[in-house]
Structure 1
């Protein structure tokens, strides 16, 4: 992957198209969706006219929508979709017994900042019209981590009422300054920082990197819900994960950071490549179910008061 990403120009239509095809093939080969999982497409409109596109993913036997997971996929705002991430979403559904709603936000370069962030917000507003926010756990990977944290920092979205947050290899520093420091210590086996920067530029080009929706003030914003962060010890975004965990604590939130030695970026999506994926997903599922029980207890205690 490192060599492939170095020679495919994301700025060119053919390079982006081929990158999408190759990445989808890799994820299908090393992380196919679970057998029997169902994906139900959603294409709706909110009362204010915003369009919401995504899919409900349910493992066999999962029907209830009393609780749910809201999933925001990653891959540089330009490459992936709920379809490529069905291993993660169907696995989360099976391990937790919950339906997963994966938002299908519009991709760069056709749709640049802040389109993806607006779509993620629309997906959240649609979901909490069906499931109360305190019964929802938000999950995301890579660039989906940045989009998720951005959602949580919007006070008017009430996303902070979510029961919990689970992030796999989150991207936080869109300048990739943290990743460059990490790359100087250990090269990422999947991608170079310079190639990742070209990909991110498809979404953020001509936008001030200090924009508050890009340079997220986690430490100075509202406290995030209880958070689990998992990152691979071999990836360039390890420093992002560490910075985010520290900022969540500084902002008054609770965060558990798990660093899985020698694992690659979002290794949880590649169980045929990483034997550690199953163990990591069990940890994530336990965190989700425990957080939902705690949220239910707090809600009942609040009613009693």
Structure 2
């Protein structure tokens, strides 16, 4: 396996809300350069006002992916990561387009509200609203695949729990890259204490970002420490994490939690890779291989 290269930025430098807000455009642009959008990608911005709030995001068609009738269309509902404080559909457009191209599915990438301006549970509420909007548009739940990375994995689990509480139908499948599961970051800190060093982010920085979003909400809040009721309708799930990353124990914990709730879950740990390495095809060839395997999972 190839050791992932450290990108030209450090998320640990974004220490305060003021610095974070000022530096967000620079960080996002750096991510855009490190995760290029495939030629031939098409996008369409979405801004839809609903009685319960606004749905924002963008449709993404990877190269060669055409439009189909909604009733027949399988759609990827993508939830981007980065600690609830940075990134947006534009920073993740390259990754989402590659997933779209390899699966042949259109993707809807959610633009949820970010901290520190918008606090918990704004992002989770936006995620549930976006899912309801897809259903209202006529997309059938058995044709929806929820995908996400890092904090997007936490949002995906919150969505499943909210679906259970609201008696909404669950999506067909999930694909999660380096998901956040432990809001205390205790698992990540324990890994660092054993000598692991993630090339992208530290556990302390991750916890600091999450604190900007949670605003002191208790870690045992049911929308923070998410648990699922045992059920036979939970989506089949693929979880990918890097062997070097600080949150790989989150992936293991999430995998076990899904199985305990009755879901089918597959866990892949990629040696020598860091946090959300799937975003960076220019930095590590394993990025392309992982996305290809994720696409195969979705298609089958």
Fold match, TM over 0.5? Answer: yes
CA distance in 1, matches of 2:197, 2:190: 10
Q: Name the structure, 1 or 2, with higher relative contact order (CA <8 Å, separation 6+).
A: 2
User: 1:121–1:157: 8 Å Cα contact kept in structure 2?
Assistant: no
Q: Which residue of 2 aligns with 1:183?
A: 192
CA distance in 1, matches of 2:49, 2:13: 40
Q: Which residue of 2 aligns with 1:302?
A: none
User: 2:230–2:262: 8 Å Cα contact kept in structure 1?
Assistant: no
Per the alignment, in what secondary structure is the counterpart of residue 245 of structure 2? coil
CA distance in 2, matches of 1:123, 1:274: 32
Are residues 170 and 2 of structure 1, via their aligned partners in 2, closer, same or farther at CA, if it must alter by over 3 Å? farther
Q: Which residue of 2 aligns with 1:24?
A: 28
- Using the size of structure 1 for normalisation, the TM-score is 0.89
Q: Which residue of 2 aligns with 1:144?
A: 152
- Using the size of structure 2 for normalisation, the TM-score is 0.90
Matched, 1:133 2:141: yes
Task: Give the aligned CA root-mean-square deviation in angstroms.
Answer: 1.7
Q: Which residue of 2 aligns with 1:273?
A: 283
Aligned-pair distance for 1:205? 1.6
2:45 corresponds to which of 27, 37, 41: 41
1:101-250 equivalence runs, <5 A = 101-130=108-137, 131-154=139-162, 155-157=164-166, 161-185=170-194, 186-218=196-228, 220-222=229-231, 224-250=234-260
Per the alignment, in what secondary structure is the counterpart of residue 266 of structure 2? strand
Aligned residues: 286
Per the alignment, in what secondary structure is the counterpart of residue 129 of structure 1? helix
1:23-102 equivalence runs, <5 A = 23-46=27-50, 48-62=51-65, 63-64=67-68, 65=70, 66-102=73-109
